Structures are given as structure tokens and as C-alpha cells.
Amino acid sequence: MLNIFKIVLSAMIAFYFSACDSFPFSDDKLNNNPTNPSTTNSPTPITYGIVTSPITGKKWLDRNLGAIEVCTKSRGLEALKFDGVEYSTEAEANEAYVNSQKDCFGDLYQWGRLADGHEKINYTDTSKNQSVSYADNLTINDNGIIKASGDGATKFIKNPNSPYDWTDKDFDGSKRKALWEKTDGTSICPNGFRVPTIDELKAETTNWSDSSMTEDESIGKVKVINRDTAFKNFLKFPVSGNRDYGDASLDNQGYRGFVWSSLPVGSNARSLSFNDANARDGWHGRTYGLSVRCIKD
């Protein structure tokens, strides 16, 4: 059992996390009144808050899955500058951002996969991020849920070959889509929550249904057009990068952020991305490791 740590997010809001199966939640991002949904799916249980969208009224987790805190700083748009400090190279500025904000990055999931350990990232010592090459020793359990087995059971499975998937057991993605849409706490999201559709992600970020809506940064009512506005949006997305499909390396930290949706398309899956110049929805091969943010059903 891990010791319980207290993270003070502000004078009025506090969250706790411990190695237990109970997840206290807030139904209100200001008053922080707790409810008690629970889940046992995560190797490292974390307590999340709930934020209510000022755009659609829907409720979301306040951070990416696996993040131990909410992001506090934007990467900004200047390549050589972060947090008011100018660096010699963009790589140095990105490194400073990662060192400052890595606790809000969270896990990087392969699409449709459970929280089996493959998603965990060590941003301090990247040599500890284990992976295995693609193999067909993957199986479907009695409930139709696809899980990795053998040496890949808890490791990132890299596959540089088409169709760039971590399994050959679910080509159209329907079984994994159904898994990520579950709200009973047996998938990757806490009880009552699920992985959002691409339309739900777009509605909060890049594609507001009402073009006449007025932005209000004080409450996070911000349309996402780049990585800075992704942070200013109420979801406070980090620029956490991705894990590469071919060699399992960490990539784009401090430059680009990515978020999975639950929707498969062809042999890929839909995603949201943002960098210094733009924000858009697209798709990635399912072997990639990307961030996940859960929405209340």
C-alpha cells in the first residue's frame, strides 16, 4: 500500500491519490462535493476531479488518464521560449516544459487496449519504458475482450508494418471500440465514464456547434486552435506527445499533443491533435501510444 499524498491544487481545491480502489470525485469544479464511484482497472489508482464544460455542459475528468495533477503551465507558441525563459534550441525549451509539467501528461495508450501496464511512461529515465516487437500471441478472452499475452502482456507492442496495429484479432476495431465505450469501471475509464467519441472531443475544442459563442478564458471557454489554446481550454490539455508505433520511442513531447477517441476508421482510429500552428482531428495507427481523456456518460 502506497502512502497517501496530498496535492494542493489551490487554497480551496485538494485531491488525494493512494493505492486503493476508491476514486472520490467532484461533481462541481468549484465546490468539489465528493461522490464515490470506484474502479479496479488501473495498476496505479489516481483520484481525479470532474470539470463541467462551459461549452456543452458535459462533465469530464479534469486531467488525462494516469496524470497525478492538472497542468499548470502552457508550452506557449514560441519555439525557443517556455515560462518566460528563452533557450538556445527548441529541444531545450521542450525539455524544460517536460521537466516542469510531466506529472500532468498521464499515460499513453495503444488504441483499444486495457490498462495492463503498457501505457505507463517514465519521462525521467526513458530506458525503463519497455516494449516488445509485434507477435500474433494475442488472444480474446471469454468476454470478447482482446488482451495482450506472453511477453507483451504488460509492455508496449511495436509494429512498423501495415496495418500498424498491436493485434490481428480485431481488424475493424469493433470489439475494442465496445471495450472503450464501457462505463462500468471494467475498461480504462473510472466507473460512470468512458472514452469520448471524436465528435464529443471536437465539440469541446475545435468545432463549436454554435459559431456565435463568445470565448471566456476565465472559465476555460476557449476554442482550440493550437497547443496554447489547448491548455487555456477548460480541459487543460498538455503537449504530452506520443509513443511511436515503430520503435516505441517517446516523440513530440513539448511540441504536439494527441488525444484518442473511441472511434475506429479503416485500420486506424480517430484522434485530436494540436501543435504550435494548428489543431485538428485526424487518425493514427492503433499501435501509437496517445493520451486519453474520459467523459461522463
Q: What is the DSSP string of the chain?
A: -PPPEEEE-SSS-EEEE-SSSB--EESSTTT--EE--B----SS-----EEE-TTT--EEESS-TT-SS-------S-TTEETTEE-SSHHHHHHHHHHHHGGGT---EETT--SSSTT---SS-GGG--EEE--S-EEE-TTS-EEE-GGGSSSEEE--STT--S-SS-TT-HHHHHHHT--SSSSSSPTTEEPPPHHHHHHHTT--S-TTPPPBGGGTB---SSHHHHHHSTT------EE-TTT--EE-TTT-EEEEEEEEETTEEEEEEE-SS-EEEEEEETTSEEB---EE-
Centre a 10 Å sphere on the Cβ of residue 181 and count the other Cβ atoms it contains. Answer: 16
| Least confident range of 32-41, 47-56, 202-211 | 32-41
Length of the chain counted residue by residue: 297
Neighbour-count burial for 78-92, b at 16+ CB within 10 Å, e otherwise: ebeebeeeebeebee
Residue predicted with more confidence, 38 or 180: 180
Furthest C-alpha separation in the chain: 55
Does residue 122 surpass a pLDDT of 70? yes
- Name the pTM for this structure: 0.85
Around 162, how many Cα atoms within 13 Å sit in the side-chain half-sphere? 1
Per-residue pLDDT of 241-272, as tens digits, reads 999 999 999 999 999 999 999 999 999 999 99
Does pLDDT of 283 surpass 70? yes
- Please state, in angstroms and rounded to a whole number, the distance separating the CA atoms of residues 187 and 61: 15
Alpha-carbon span 292 to 164, nearest angstrom = 19
pLDDT tens-digit series, residues 173-199: 999 999 999 999 999 999 999 999 999
pLDDT tens digit sequence for 196-237:
999 999 999 999 878 788 999 999 999 999 999 999 999 999
Average pLDDT of the chain is 85
Please report, for the chain, the start and end positions of each structural domain, with discontinuous segments joined by +.
5-296
CA 129/CA 29 separation, integer angstroms: 34
Q: Which residue has the higher pLDDT, 39 or 218?
A: 218
In this predicted model, what pLDDT tens digit does every residue of 147-166 receive, in sequence order? 888 778 899 999 999 999 99
Amino acid at 226: N
The Cα–Cα gap between 4 and 6 comes to 7
Q: Which of 17-21, 278-282, 288-292 has the lowest mean pLDDT?
A: 17-21
- The strand pair at 59-61 and 50-52 is best described as antiparallel
Instruction: Kindly list the strands in the beta sheet with 268-274, ordered across the sheet, starting from the edge strand earlier in the chain.
Output: 257-265, 268-274, 279-285
